[in-house]
Amino acid sequence: MDWRSLAGLTSKNIEKSCAVIESDERFIPGAVAIKYFPMAIERAQGSLVWDADGNRYIDFLTSAAVYNAGHCHPAVVEAVREQVGKLQNYTVVYFYNDRQVRLAELLTSTAPGDFPKKAAFGFSGSDGVDAAIRAARSFTGRRQILSFKESYHGMTTASLSVTGIIGSDVKKRVCLDPNVVFAEYPDPYRNPWGIDGYADPEGLTEEAMRSLGEILDRHRGDVAAVLIEPAQGDGGMIFPPKEFMTRLRDVTEREGIVLIDEEVQTGMGRSGRWWAIEHFDVVPDLIVSAKALGGGLPISAVIGRADILDAVPVPLLAYTHTGHAVSCASAEAMVRVVRDEDLAVRAEEKGKIIAEWFREKAKLYPFIGDIRQKGLLMGVEIVSDRISKTPDKAMALKISWAAWEKGLILITFGKNGNVLRVAPPLNIPDELLQEALGIMNASLEDAASGRVSEDILPYLKGW
């Protein structure tokens, strides 16, 4: 990012942030980043974030759907403080540690399905996906993983292999797993069959199952797992029809294929249920969790059928820091906060308020093309007009920039980069939510009336 030019386009004081960016460019490789704004985050509390220059922001990103309970939740901070002063960690590869056992017991109690369950821990969503793939292949003795186009599953080699949203031109020099096949994700708003999937979910399901069936036929007897996000997050928060998920469960069960429910972004109450898969009344074999799970510390978990997880040969889930005591303590506190503070219910309430607000705004602004929401899993698609549905990434970035200028972190995502990503903490206080909606209102107005400079566009790469 040419941040110097970008910094010249804001009226904010970002001097200290710029100093951080200058050093970052010298010492941190560029591949780490899809940067948006010239802002170095200094501290955060609840739903608020401050940058190095003291500028205050309401956080509608939560560090990419991490802080479901808000930043520095006191129960999480206390659990970490207590654990870190007692035992940072001692590898569970050789001995035992009650922290990971307690967390596993708690987490397995949240997962649907009436069968014995276990949980395996790692550090990030990416390695959680790797572990689930490893388990599915070990259990079935098969090779192929069926994933979906435009999916995002991570950046380790295995999880990158099953990620659909990164183009093969970018991936081509990396040694990827060849045993991956991609199916169409049934996007009700945009799909290759031109079906309005909101009006005709059965028709969309039929087409998607037909094309998926062709892939299964081609690899019959060799598909270890179907890996699916119950809402395609970085694809732009797309919800498949309920009947698609039900039929997917039926076919995977019939063919002995492990159904991996990838809830790295959607889990821990954000969808208005503990796991987003609960919206579909589907019981998966394995659930992958990360992001919000750790309450801000790095941890992933694969939760699900004990027989599948136990099929992984020793020591193929053994990382030195697996089940790290401090991360487990933080995660255990986080799970209790989500449960005791009814955060899924809060997400449901607040999500409805925001979605309704956008529906009202859509009467004024024809560029609001689609509003997708379950709880506080939300994406608002920005288009040139509702008939052609042409993605308008430039307009989405202008709204996002205007919001940043006014103190709201609201970035974009999606397969066309034109979806506003609405992901505040599930417990955002009402007054901050109202303040954020006020900022969004002014940002929509600014962008619609041409008050946001075109000059920002070459610098904001976005998704």
Ligand X SMILES: Cc1ncc(COP(=O)(O)O)c(C=O)c1O
284 binds ligand X (CB under 6 A): no
Judged by CB under 6 A, which stretch of 227-235, 335-343, 352-360, 364-372 contacts ligand X? Answer: 227-235
Structure tokens at 240: 């498949």
Cβ neighbours of 375 (radius 10 Å): 26
For residue 103, the number of C-alpha atoms closer than 13 Å in the C-beta half-sphere is 31
Question: Least CB distance from residue 56 to ligand X, whole Å?
Answer: 26
Question: Least CB distance from residue 82 to ligand X, whole Å?
Answer: 25
CB-nearer residue toward ligand X: 17 or 412? 412
Structure tokens at 351: 């999500």
Question: Least CB distance from residue 70 to ligand X, whole Å?
Answer: 19
Residue holding tokens 């401050």?
Answer: 50
Q: Binder to ligand X among 38, 125, 230, 241 (CB under 6 A)?
A: 125
CB-nearer residue toward ligand X: 152 or 367? 152
Contact residues for 325 (Cβ-Cβ < 8 A; gap 6+): 83, 87, 88, 89, 90, 97, 99, 100
Residue holding tokens 């307690």?
Answer: 102
Sheet bearing 56-59, strands edge to edge? 41-45, 48-51, 56-59, 408-409
Site for ligand X in 151-190 (CB under 6 A): 152-154
Question: Least CB distance from residue 455 to ligand X, whole Å?
Answer: 29
Give the x-and-dash track for 232-271 against ligand X (CB under 6 A): -xx---------------------------x-xx------
CB closest to ligand X, residue no: 125
> Which is nearest to 268 in space by CA: 225, 232, 306, 300?
300
Question: Least CB distance from residue 36 to ligand X, whole Å?
Answer: 15
Q: Binder to ligand X among 130, 184, 207, 229 (CB under 6 A)?
A: 229
Q: Binder to ligand X among 120, 160, 223, 290 (CB under 6 A)?
A: 290
Judged by CB under 6 A, which stretch of 15-23, 121-129, 170-178, 318-326 contacts ligand X? Answer: 121-129
> Which is nearest to 276 in space by CA: 373, 209, 183?
373
> Which is nearest to 418 in space by CA: 191, 208, 190, 125?
190
Residue holding tokens 């991609």?
Answer: 182
Site for ligand X in 359-418 (CB under 6 A): none
The answer to whether residues 103 and 268 touch, using CB atoms and an 8 Å cutoff, is no
Question: Least CB distance from residue 300 to ligand X, whole Å?
Answer: 7
The rounded distance, in Å, linking the Cα atoms of 331 and 110 is: 13
Tell me 107's DSSP state: H
Give the x-and-dash track for 51-90 against ligand X (CB under 6 A): -------------x--------------------------
Which parts of this chain interact with ligand X (CB under 6 A)? 64, 124-126, 129, 152-154, 229, 233-234, 262, 264-265, 290-291
